[in-house]
């Protein structure tokens, strides 16, 4: 019985329960499903079993002492309702050689059995102690073999902060369990079938360190009943920070699993009420000892705010890599124009900018006498022409508009638009590339929308430099400037999607992508700025910037898979437009961020600044970026000479 209905959630609507070993699987499953849980985390093999205790013959003849076979439950039941839990005694890095060999044999036997049952996923026991190289190696061997079952590595969500070094509960565990996960997955080469199941404990580490997990393939959050608090009425509930974490998990398709026994004694009466609040199907799930915990999780799920309209629209784009458009080289299609024209928030900003510019340029007393020349360079199907005319109307200024467009198909549409709107006397359509057009007169205002997700990446600088010829010396360019931004991120999903192509080119190409399963490790920093008109003697659109990111100390170590790129543009004076998270224009959907991958993820330890270098280079026929990490450990120079990615001039 899923926690509730909500658009866009895949796994996260489901809640499972961890169970003890039982060799009556049908009964175990029925009891828990009736109890309202969607699946069980069930031990597959008798915990008492040890290969080394069996005599050779037994091993040959005898069968594995399993919880239940594919005859007591159908493969369909197994795969839809059971996540297989491997023996938790397994310790592949023990100094005890016999235990180590037993562990290796069992790990392989149990995984083989699980895939025979066609389970969708198995839970791997928590790595014991610091080193897990041999454990990783065995799991890696399993991952190498074609089997497509998911393996969830169980990791306790803990990090020893400087101020609780003496906390005994953290005992001999590694200072930071994320590091255990990190070495494990590095040893397994980021295999996409390897993911994480987090044990959520009573106390949570710092918010920054928790943030790292959003960039990791976390499939399940296992919450132990004694991690719950009791509310006034004795009901289990979670601390504010736990609630916040869970909401984040729900939003990132992480399933919840409840573990442990009843730790809160709840008066029956109270139960009924709680029950009827939270559950629409009362009778079926009376009797399950953990139902109050399930209700509470369902309650948290249901009280989440619904996804805003735009988010819903963008769901299918989450973490989906797209190659950036090349509007200069290629001609956009009608469909593309239409989509972007719908972005009213964006064109409203343009209208505001043009209005302000007109008011600054033409005092009221001259409003009726003077006609300003406004040129839309890259007019497409006309949205900026419309916005400009709106601005003229709203300010009562007179306009003469040139609509310059290089795409002959868009020009046809422009002509019919002008006829349709009766703009013949105001708007002149020019079918030409702004870089070569020989203008009949000079413009007061130059309006363009040539910006890409990274600002200059669709060659706005080169185009506007070309158009500047026909802007009056005191003329205005809208936008008047734009700046790109860089931010280091962790995103196992994006890195794997790039890596899957097994070639250099994809690892050196920036992708437009709606970032979702991403940990943002430090505040954005500005990269390149371009100003228009550019009156410097030697125009040069090549750029070089060195950035130093300080990742907050309490985050712990992090793995940087690459950089998120954004832009912000000043259209005119205080009217701006952009996607840089801290100042993004609301309800604007024309741009997703851009992702610059790293060929090899870079591990950054606390208090080690991350030094990054970015170049904008240009040749006679193309413009491209190069980037590298210089510190803590130097990466190769990415995309040298634009060998993998470039934008055609």
Annotated binding-site ranges for S-adenosyl-L-methionine = 337, 346-347, 405, 433-434
Q: Which stretch binds a second copy (CB under 8 A): 77-85, 136-144, 160-168, 576-584?
A: 136-144
Residue with tokens 């080119």: 505
Residue with tokens 């805003």: 308
DSSP-derived 3-state class of residue 128: coil
Residue 405 makes contact with a second copy by CB under 8 A: no
Instruction: Identify the bridge partners of residue 575 per DSSP, sorted by sequence position.
Output: 572
Choose between 230 and 633: whose C-beta lies nearer to a second copy.
633
Residue 435 makes contact with a second copy by CB under 8 A: no
Which string of DSSP letters, residue by residue, matches 375-414?
A: EEES-TTSHHHHHHHHHHHHHT-EEEEEEEES-HHHHHHH
Rounded least distance, CB 626 to a second copy, Å: 6
Choose between 22 and 183: whose C-beta lies nearer to a second copy.
183
Per the CB < 8 A criterion, the answer to whether 578 and 454 are in contact is no
Among 120, 640, 644, 649, indicate the residue that binds a second copy (CB under 8 A): 640
Among 51, 307, 611, 644, indicate the residue that binds a second copy (CB under 8 A): 611
Residue 633 makes contact with a second copy by CB under 8 A: yes
Among 114, 635, 645, 647, indicate the residue that binds a second copy (CB under 8 A): 635
Pull the structure tokens for residue 240: 């504010």
Give the CA count within 13 Å in the CB-facing half-sphere of 447: 32
- Residue 486's nearest CA partner among 541, 564, 550 is 564
Q: Which stretch binds a second copy (CB under 8 A): 72-80, 258-266, 462-470, 637-645?
A: 637-645
Q: Which stretch binds a second copy (CB under 8 A): 195-203, 408-416, 454-462, 622-630?
A: 622-630
Among 118, 145, 231, 276, indicate the residue that binds a second copy (CB under 8 A): 145
Among 27, 141, 231, 368, indicate the residue that binds a second copy (CB under 8 A): 141
CB atoms within 10 A of CB 253: 17
Residue with tokens 């106390």: 203
| Contact characters 544-583, a second copy, x per CB under 8 A | x-x-------------------------------------
Residue 144 makes contact with a second copy by CB under 8 A: yes
The catalytic residue among 458, 462, 508, 626 is 458
Residues marked as binding?
337, 346-347, 405, 433-434
Choose between 131 and 344: whose C-beta lies nearer to a second copy.
131
The catalytic residue among 110, 449, 508, 580 is 449
Residue 496 makes contact with a second copy by CB under 8 A: no
Choose between 175 and 187: whose C-beta lies nearer to a second copy.
187
Q: Which stretch binds a second copy (CB under 8 A): 112-120, 237-245, 306-314, 627-635?
A: 627-635
- Measured CA to CA, the distance from residue 612 to residue 526 in angstroms comes to 12
Count the site residues for a second copy by CB under 8 A. Answer: 34
Residue 539 makes contact with a second copy by CB under 8 A: no
Pull the structure tokens for residue 441: 């007169």
Residue 637 makes contact with a second copy by CB under 8 A: yes
Choose between 136 and 487: whose C-beta lies nearer to a second copy.
136
Rounded least distance, CB 418 to a second copy, Å: 43
**Which phi and psi angles does 528 have, rounded to 5°?**
-120, 145
- Identify the H or E element spanning 614: strand 610-618
Q: Which stretch binds a second copy (CB under 8 A): 141-149, 476-484, 509-517, 521-529?
A: 141-149
Q: Based on the residue annotation, tell me whether 458 is a catalytic residue of this protein.
A: yes
Burial string for 290-321 (b: 16+ CB within 10 Å, else e) reads bbbbbbbbbbbbeeeeebeeeeeebeeebebb
Which string of DSSP letters, residue by residue, matches 322-381?
A: BPPP-TTTSPPPHHHHHHHHT-HHHHHHHHHHHHHHHHHHS-GGGTTT-EEEEEEES-TT
Choose between 135 and 250: whose C-beta lies nearer to a second copy.
135
| Contact characters 171-210, a second copy, x per CB under 8 A | -----------xx--xxxx---------------------
Rounded least distance, CB 649 to a second copy, Å: 18
Choose between 19 and 639: whose C-beta lies nearer to a second copy.
639
Per the CB < 8 A criterion, the answer to whether 450 and 459 are in contact is yes
- State CA 248 to chain mean position distance: 12
- Measured CA to CA, the distance from residue 379 to residue 462 in angstroms comes to 17
Choose between 28 and 90: whose C-beta lies nearer to a second copy.
90
Name every residue whose Cβ is closer than 8 Å to that of residue 249 and which is 6 or more positions away in sequence. Answer: 12, 218, 221, 256
Among 485, 615, 625, 646, indicate the residue that binds a second copy (CB under 8 A): 615
Choose between 140 and 251: whose C-beta lies nearer to a second copy.
140
Among 48, 112, 133, 329, indicate the residue that binds a second copy (CB under 8 A): 133
Rounded least distance, CB 542 to a second copy, Å: 9
DSSP-derived 3-state class of residue 618: strand
Among 27, 118, 131, 587, indicate the residue that binds a second copy (CB under 8 A): 131
- Residue 82's nearest CA partner among 45, 114, 49, 48 is 114
- Identify the H or E element spanning 107: helix 97-116
Which sign does the torsion angle of CA 43, 44, 46, 49 carry?
Answer: negative
Strands 15-18 and 255-259: parallel
- Measured CA to CA, the distance from residue 440 to residue 402 in angstroms comes to 10
CB atoms within 10 A of CB 438: 8
Where do contacts with a second copy occur on this chain (CB under 8 A)? 100, 131, 133-134, 136-137, 140-141, 144-145, 182-183, 186-189, 544, 546, 600, 603, 611, 613, 615, 626, 628, 630, 633-637, 640-641, 643
- Known catalytic residues are 449, 458
């Amino acid at each position: 019985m899923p926690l509730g209905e909500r658009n866009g959630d895949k796994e996260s609507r489901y809640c499972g329960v961890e169970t003890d070993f039982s060799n009556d699987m049908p009964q175990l499953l029925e009891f828990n499903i009736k109890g309202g849980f969607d699946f069980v985390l069930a031990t597959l093999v008798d915990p008492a079993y040890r290969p080394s205790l069996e005599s050779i013959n037994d091993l040959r003849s005898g069968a594995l002492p399993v919880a239940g076979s594919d005859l007591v439950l159908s493969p369909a039941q197994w795969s839809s309702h059971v996540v297989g839990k491997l023996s938790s005694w397994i310790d592949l890095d023990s100094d005890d050689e016999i235990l180590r060999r037993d562990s290796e044999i069992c790990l392989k036997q149990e995984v083989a059995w699980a895939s025979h049952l066609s389970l969708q996923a198995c839970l791997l026991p928590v790595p014991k102690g610091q080193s897990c190289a041999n454990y990783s190696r065995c799991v890696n061997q399993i991952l190498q073999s074609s089997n497509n079952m998911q393996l969830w590595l169980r990791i306790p969500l803990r990090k020893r902060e400087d101020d609780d070094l003496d906390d005994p509960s953290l005992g001999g565990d590694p200072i930071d369990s994320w590091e255990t996960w990190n070495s494990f997955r590095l040893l397994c080469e980021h295999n996409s079938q390897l993911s994480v199941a987090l044990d959520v404990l009573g106390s949570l580490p710092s918010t920054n360190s928790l943030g790292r997990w959003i960039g990791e393939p976390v499939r399940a959050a296992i919450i132990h009943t004694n991690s719950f608090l009791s509310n006034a009425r004795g009901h289990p509930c979670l601390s504010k920070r736990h609630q916040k974490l869970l909401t984040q998990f729900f939003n990132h398709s992480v399933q919840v699993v409840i573990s442990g026994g009843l730790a809160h004694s709840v008066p029956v009466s109270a139960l009924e009420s709680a029950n009827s609040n939270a559950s629409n199907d009362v009778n079926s799930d009376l009797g399950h000892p953990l139902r109050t915990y399930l209700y509470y999780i369902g309650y948290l799920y249901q009280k989440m705010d619904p996804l805003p309209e735009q988010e819903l629209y963008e769901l299918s784009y989450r973490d989906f890599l797209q190659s950036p458009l090349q509007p200069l080289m290629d001609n956009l299609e009608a469909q593309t124009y239409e989509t972007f024209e719908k972005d009213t928030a964006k064109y409203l900003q343009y209208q505001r900018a043009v209005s302000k510019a007109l008011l600054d340029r033409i005092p009221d007393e001259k409003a009726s006498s003077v006609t300003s020349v406004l040129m839309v360079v890259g007019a497409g199907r006309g949205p900026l022409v419309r916005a400009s005319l709106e601005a003229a109307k709203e300010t009562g200024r007179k306009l003469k508009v040139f609509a310059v467009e290089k795409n002959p198909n868009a020009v046809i549409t422009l002509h019919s638009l002008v006829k349709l709107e009766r703009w013949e006397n105001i708007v002149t359509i020019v079918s030409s590339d702004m870089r070569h057009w020989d203008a009949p007169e000079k413009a007061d205002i130059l309006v363009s929308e040539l910006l890409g997700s990274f600002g200059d990446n669709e060659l706005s600088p080169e185009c506007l430099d070309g158009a500047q010829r026909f802007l009056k010396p005191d003329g205005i360019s809208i936008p008047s400037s734009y700046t790109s931004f860089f931010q280091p991120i962790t995103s196992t999903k994006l890195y794997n999607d790039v890596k899957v192509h097994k070639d250099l080119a994809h690892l050196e190409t920036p992708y437009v992508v709606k970032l979702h399963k991403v940990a943002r490790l430090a505040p954005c920093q500005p990269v390149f700025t371009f100003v228009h008109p550019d009156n410097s003697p030697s125009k040069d659109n090549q750029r070089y910037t060195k950035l130093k990111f300080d990742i907050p100390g309490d985050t712990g170590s992090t793995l940087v898979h690459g950089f998120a790129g954004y832009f912000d543009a000043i259209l005119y004076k205080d009217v701006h437009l952009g996607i840089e998270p801290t100042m993004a224009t609301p309800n604007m959907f024309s741009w997703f961020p851009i992702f610059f991958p790293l060929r090899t993820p870079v591990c950054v330890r606390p208090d080690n600044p991350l030094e990054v270098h970015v170049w904008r280079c240009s040749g006679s026929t193309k413009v491209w970026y190069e980037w590298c990490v210089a510190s803590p450990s130097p990466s190769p120079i990415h995309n040298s000479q634009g060998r993998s990615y470039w934008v055609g001039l």
